[in-house]
Amino acid sequence: MTQKKKPKVYITRRLPEVVETRMRELFDAELNIDDSPRTQPELVAAVKSADVLVPTLTDRIDAALIEQAGPQLKLIACFSNGVDNVDVEAAARKGITVTNTPNVLTEDTADMTMALILAAPRRLAEGAQILTDRKGEWAGWSPTWMLGRRIWGKRLGIVGMGRIGTAVAKRAKAFGLSIHYHNRNRVRPDTEDALEATYWDSLDQMLARVDIVSVNCPSTPATFHLLSARRLELMQPTSYLVNTARGGIVDETALIKCLREGKIAGAGLDVFENEPAVSPKLLKLAAEGKVVLLPHMSSATIEGRVDMGEKVVINIRTFFDGHRPPDRVLP
């Protein structure tokens, strides 16, 4: 960074200590020591005074907020891979650059996706609950106790074959699942060959054919409720849905209805439509063992968060050195 005056960087949540220390060394950093989510008025004050805003996915950086930004705000350096919480077009109109933290969350998110692909059909959470929360219920092993569904030999349908979808496919192949995918564009033939993956141009047809659906596409206006009531009903009654992407991609009300009516067998969800609120109906389904619910933690590893922080630092430094930041998000 060549400029003398350090950029004023406003960070909305607590970050790993090593990242905060680095931010303090390099920038005029305003940290959020108590980690409470910033209110909209606090964000307004921030965009009026800071050169850089570092939001996380829980901050709503919409057009109304961006409109109020002062001329000094030059960069929104998101501490997240997804930028569905930021109106990137409104930022571009104001001449504000937006960056994110891609790549560094891929493997962690794919690991947790794989964990849910295993956990939902094999009733992992329910089994754990029986020993911990529903004590006394286990009378010992029996041939018909806690039977789940076999994973090996089943068909996995990946919705969105980007970095995370591909990393999920690699893992799933090792667990004996055959790989099916739907994506805007077909992936390279060598990737398809290595994964022995079948491409489905029609999402509807793929949903009707597979045993487990994994949602791994980004959340955009085009993917809102991509898994609609109509599409969920195409799935088989023995099938499972796993979502580690964003809640809004699946019509949650329709999913709950399908689960209650036995139109699909179960689900593993790490994301929800109205986070941090989780529908009581989903909680009830979890208590009944029909769904495995996690509190949006697929990417939550110490290493991943430190890597994200390093990406944010590089994006800010590169920007203030007068270059295009490596992770610029275009509208």
- Residues annotated catalytic, as ranges: 246, 275, 296
DSSP symbols for 58-75: TS-B-HHHHHT--TT--E
Nearer to ligand DGY, 127 or 218 (CB): 218
Rounded CA-CA distance 180/161 in Å is: 10
What residue type is assigned to position 114 of the chain? M
Nearer to ligand DGY, 65 or 312 (CB): 312
115 sits near ligand DGY (criterion: CB under 6 A): no
57 sits near ligand DGY (criterion: CB under 6 A): yes
Angle between helices 17-26 and 302-320 in degrees, nearest 10: 10
DSSP symbols for 185-204: SPPPHHHHHHHT-EE-S-HH
Task: Map residue 140 onto helix, strand or coil.
Answer: coil
Rounded CA-CA distance 149/121 in Å is: 5
Nearer to ligand DGY, 153 or 295 (CB): 295
Q: Which of 12, 106, 239, 299 binds ligand DGY (CB under 6 A)?
A: 299
Residues 6+ apart with CB under 8 A from 26: 1, 6, 313, 316, 317
Tell the smallest beta-carbon distance from residue 101 to ligand DGY (Å). 6
Residues 60-99 that bind ligand DGY (CB under 6 A): 80-82
Tell the smallest beta-carbon distance from residue 310 to ligand DGY (Å). 14
160 sits near ligand DGY (criterion: CB under 6 A): no
Nearer to ligand DGY, 211 or 270 (CB): 270
Rounded CA-CA distance 73/123 in Å is: 49
Tell the smallest beta-carbon distance from residue 55 to ligand DGY (Å). 11
Total site size for ligand DGY, rule CB under 6 A: 7
Tell the smallest beta-carbon distance from residue 148 to ligand DGY (Å). 27
Host H or E run for residue 222: none
Nearer to ligand DGY, 81 or 183 (CB): 81
Residue ranges in contact with ligand DGY by CB under 6 A: 57, 80-82, 105, 298-299
